[in-house]
Amino acid sequence: MRRTVAMLVVLVTCGSSQAADPKVDRVEIVQHGIYELQFDRHLSSHEGRAFDRVRAKALMQITDVVPGWPCISYGVEYRIIGEPAGAAVEIEMVTRIPGSSRQPTRTTINRTVGGIHFRSFTFDRRDELLPGTWAFEFKAGGRVIGEHRFHVLEMPDDIVIPCETPATN
């Protein structure tokens, strides 16, 4: 009887430690390019920047080259590869912006292993229109598990594209 109880305690302890530590191998990019986005109202602020939740999205063009125009949204749909499927994991999103004086932006979010998720950037202001290579980096447990790069083109200043900012849609 004592052996049975001791064995059950060992099995329960071993099983619970495995369930507590999901394993993240990498991020798989499912789609990437220029998107048409619809946003929910302004939700929160992080380090002085506004963030809005994407309510609906449509991939307009598969590309790594993005025109540097106001209102252009580009991004990636990605899947977290690991186990167990459905486990919640903490992912650090790093956006590397062109120019040596610009610090990368960072935010940490919870995502699920195996689920398809979305990450994007929209040029809301002219001062964001920086030509060069923009990198979306994904990190888990302090290590890079994926990255996707976009090349943003410098566009003529005389082009006027009216748009609504995500907070007003």
pTM of the model: 0.77
Query: Domain-by-domain residue ranges, the chain?
Result: 25-168
What's residue 16's pLDDT?
Answer: 45
What's residue 35's pLDDT?
Answer: 96
What's residue 55's pLDDT?
Answer: 78
Cα–Cα distance for residue pair 118/120, rounded to 1 Å: 7
- CB of 149 within 8 A of CB of 64? yes
Specify the fold of 25-168.
Immunoglobulin-like (2.60.40)
Cα–Cα distance for residue pair 33/120, rounded to 1 Å: 9
pLDDT in tens, 51-87: 567 778 999 999 999 999 888 999 999 999 999 999 9
Q: What is the mean pLDDT of residues 138-156?
A: 94
pLDDT in tens, 18-61: 556 899 999 999 999 999 988 775 555 444 445 567 778 999 99
